[in-house]
Chains A and B, each alone.
Chain A
Amino acid sequence: MTTNTARDAAAADGTRQAGQTGGTSVSLQNLSRSFGTTRALDGLSLEIAPGELVALLGPSGCGKTTALRIVAGFESADTGSVLVDGKDISSVAAARRDMGMVFQSYSLFPNMNTLDNVAFGLRMRKQGSAQRRKRAGELLEMVGLVDQAQQYPHQLSGGQQQRVALARALAIEPRVLRLDEPLSALDAKVRLQLREQIRTLQQRLGTTTLFVTHDQEEALSMADRVGVMRQGKLVQIAAPDVLYDDPATPFVAEFVGVMNRIPAELQASGNPRTVTVLGSTVPVKGEEPAETQSTVGGDGPVDVLVRPEGLTMQVMENGNGIVTHRTFLGSVTRVRVLLSGDVAVQIDKPSSEAAAVALGTSVSVTLPPEPVLIAPRRPVTP
């Protein structure tokens, strides 16, 4: 139903739609920024196509927020530049960048009601009172909060406040929308709803959007492309499914989704190289990232990285593992199996099959003969 109201409002606002089809491109070029001795950003480059939603994902302190703040004009880069539609905006003040922003913390002005909050940016653009009330009303309709127009921020729930903040950011028809972990202060259910709502609106309006989050689920479910950051660098940027299925490095593999690490032996002589793991020999995945190559040179111990759905498991007397735990996740059940050598792996099974496997059952865990990702051996943590 929210989708409907959004569609109606957007349809009523035809001029804007037409104007947006061109969209705005954003380009971050070789951005670096240090705070004291810490390098928050280390040569970050990123292209955002018109109308695209790009998420920057990474652990805290990886520089994603700094990147966003540089785009916003709240910080300046030591080196590098930000181009919007091909023009360098590095020297443009934050107030003149024409970019809407939704913040992590609640950022509505407490002294203004919902309508005035949404109309604030229009007021700054010297629009007439009637005109900005009309426009603010439309935006509130889009986010489904028309009834709350006269209420003050402290009378709204957290989710409502963030929706008003979104309406306020969109009211100025920003060239770029910036979302700084807008959902992290909300509870799980509201987060899910708002996630969909933001994405629907963003696609409908075609606003180029940069979204910063540490929540991989949020990034994967909302973004056209997800950039994974680490220590101020962009490690990989790709569509969510590519990122999940074909991670460029062990870091990305383990940061995005659940990943098993299984000790294996590398045979570097073959072409392609192969690893022996769980009793079978499988090829190593094609284009090997530099990170792995440099550290994993010749034959020797490595870890194989496999998703829970990439392992097969069969009940078998004297198998290579014992079922220690089961987590019901709906249609699938995640089974935890302790392999010999104190290695625990997680395997996803359809819940109907998993129900038959009792705790303590001896099972045989095997790997299909498909290319696998490898990483330097890491000491087993209990």
Chain B
Amino acid sequence: MATVADVESGTQAPTPPARPAARRRSFAVWRWVILLIAGVFFLIPLYAGLRFAGLKAFGKVFTYPGFGSAVGLSLRLAVITTVLTLVLMVPTTVYVHLRLPQIRRSMEGITILPLVIPPIVLIIGVLKVAPGFLLGTPYLLALVYVILAMPFAYRSLDAGLRAFDLKTMVEASNSLGAGWPTTLWRVVLPNIRTAMLSATVLTVALVLGEFTMASLALYVTFPVWIVQFEQNAGPVTTAASLLALFITWILLMLIVTVGGRSARKRGGAQVSLFSVAAPAESSQTMGEPE
């Protein structure tokens, strides 16, 4: 028996997989080369910033006037925007998938509009028509950010809903006696967790980095504060922007780790910072989700 197996493997087995293996190796090499080039491209400016600011500047950032309130406002905006976005977009996307699948294409078109309209046009229009009780409150800016976040949130959720058999799940849940609210809460939401996480990450990143609108509407968010202070304290604001970058990273990592832990435990969808971004990307390039 053993000899037969040996003979067989000796004559046939190694030849066919040999070529794909070589190709895979060269693929791997190219992957590393590209990663290296990209890494250098992104890291050099960071390093330059660090050199320019010096380590001492990092300590000073926190004592500068306005830093605390600017960061606080940005974080508040991030939370309000994310909550509003999810509350608005999750039911809408689920409804479109279940009842109006034929308008999915036009939904994609509509949700991409905020990317096409220049922020200046949008915010000036909004400021003209905004009701008085909203002017000057974070809610006005948050509402505008909800619109800005729409393309990203919709795409994430859309990809998430396409990744499982929503219609059958909902019908199965109904047939077992679950009404609409229960079905949404116990069946739909847990299964689009990754997509909701992805929408959250993208929304938070967007809010923490947005400058044009906040500045034009006279809100001193963190990015606006950085620009204001750059005039008189170059190294400190550079340190602040690096800090902003790291804080955003840490925040995103935190969201992903906390949100993904239970999913990983179940062996369900693998969640990482990279896979979180994936659904949004794949739907933009019209790739079908697995």
Contacts and interface: CB of A to CB of B under 8 A. Distances in A.
Interface of A: 72-74, 93-101, 103, 105-111, 113, 120-121, 124-125, 152, 154-155, 165, 168-169, 172, 178
B6 interface: no
B190 A111 contact: yes
B164 interface: yes
A168 B176 CA distance: 8
Nearest to A171: B176
Contact of B268 (A97, A105, A111): A111
A30 B266 CA distance: 47
A152 B177 CA distance: 22
Interface stretch (B17-25, B144-152, B167-175, B274-282): B167-175
Contact of B171 (A96, A103, A121): A103
A98 B268 contact: no
Given A110-B164, A154-B268, A72 B175 contact: yes
Interface string B105-139: 00000000000000000000000000000000000
Contacts of A106: 165, 168
Chain B interface mostly: helix
A169 B177 CA distance: 11
B172 A109 contact: yes
Contact of A95 (B165, B177, B191, B193): B177
B150 to A, nearest CB: 26
B177 A98 contact: yes
Contacts of B168: 103, 105-107
21 contacts: A74-B174, A93-B174, A93-B179, A95-B174, A95-B176, A95-B177, A97-B175, A101-B175, A105-B165, A107-B171, A109-B187, A109-B190, A109-B191, A110-B164, A111-B190, A111-B266, A120-B173, A120-B178, A121-B176, A152-B266, A152-B267
Given A121-B176, A152-B266, A172-B177, A94 B171 contact: yes
Given A74-B171, A107-B169, A109-B187, A172 B266 contact: no
Contacts of A110: 164, 191, 268
Interface residues of B, number: 22
Contacts of B284: none
Contact of B177 (A113, A124, A154, A165): A124
A105 B173 CA distance: 14
Given A94-B174, A94-B175, A103-B171, A154 B267 contact: yes
B102 to A, nearest CB: 12
Nearest to B180: A95
A168 B175 CA distance: 10
B176 A107 contact: no
A120 B168 CA distance: 15
A72 B168 CA distance: 13
B182 A124 contact: yes
Contacts of B187: 109, 111
